Amino acid sequence: MRRVLSLAAIAALLALAGAAPAAASGQSLCSKGDVQALADGTIPVAKQVFKERENGSGNAWLCQFRFYDGNDGETPDNPEVPDVFRQSDWFLAGIFDWLTVAEMQELGVDRAGAAALIGSIQDRLFWREQGGEWTELPLMETPYRTVRAPWGEVLNVFRHRYHVFAAGTYEPGIYEWRVDTVGPFDPPEYTTYGEVHIVPS
């Protein structure tokens, strides 16, 4: 079971996806439709180029941030470098979970067992203005399905859990997020965290 993409997979996907177009000054980069497509889609990988050029967030995903901080000390990303969105942007926060056929065989589970295993993972998303009180945000979840990843591997049981931030919901400022996760991991509980900057449109 995997919750993040390997560096090799990300490199291959970015080569397939190409660079995202830079946003014009004052123009919203991420629409409601863009974010809904991300919510319904599978493993989108395009990066938000205007962040790299204007705001320094070199590992930012297009119109979204993910529930892992990638704090590996090799690539500057969240939480070392915040994700940056404009106040007029819609954006999404989420996490993919999946099991391949080989992983299911290794675990000795059928499709129903794989879905139950993934379903046992519980993520709780919390959000606050920097230094304020934490508020829990609700998560949506896609149905379980089988998808073929852009690098060719079949992900036999796949789901996406996410929260959508509507444009204009928050004033410009610095915001913090954390995700408390419980699941069939070692250790079974862990927390990821990061920072989001919302800038004027």
Domain locations along the chain: 7-199
User: Which has the minimum average pLDDT: 59-73, 83-97, 187-201?
Assistant: 59-73
Q: Convert the pLDDT of each residue in 97-125 to its tens digit.
A: 899 989 999 999 999 999 999 999 999 99
Q: Which of 24-28, 68-72, 88-92, 103-107 comes out lowest in average pLDDT?
A: 24-28
For the chain, the C-alpha Rg in angstroms (whole number) is 17
The confidence score (pLDDT) of residue 16 equals 36
Inform me whether the pLDDT recorded for 53 exceeds 50: no
pTM (2 decimals)?
0.77
pLDDT above 90 covers a percentage of the chain that reads: 37
pLDDT surpasses 70 at 27 = no
Average pLDDT, the chain: 76
Q: Looking at residue 25, what is its pLDDT? A: 39
Q: Which helix (H) or strand (E) holds 101?
A: helix 101-107
Residues 6+ apart with CB under 8 A from 182: 121, 122, 188, 189
Q: What integer pLDDT is reported at residue 138 of this predicted model?
A: 97
Per-residue confidence band for 28, with pLDDT thresholds at 50, 70 and 90: low
Pair type for strands 145-148 and 154-165: antiparallel
Q: Is it the case that residue 11 has pLDDT exceeding 90?
A: no
| Bridge pairing between strands 154-165 and 91-100 | antiparallel
Q: Which position has the higher pLDDT, 6 or 81?
A: 81
Strands lying side by side in the sheet with 122-129: 83-86, 189-199, 173-182, 122-129, 135-137
What would the pLDDT profile of 38-50 be if each residue is shown by its tens digit?
A: 888 766 544 444 4
Mean pLDDT for 149-160 is 84
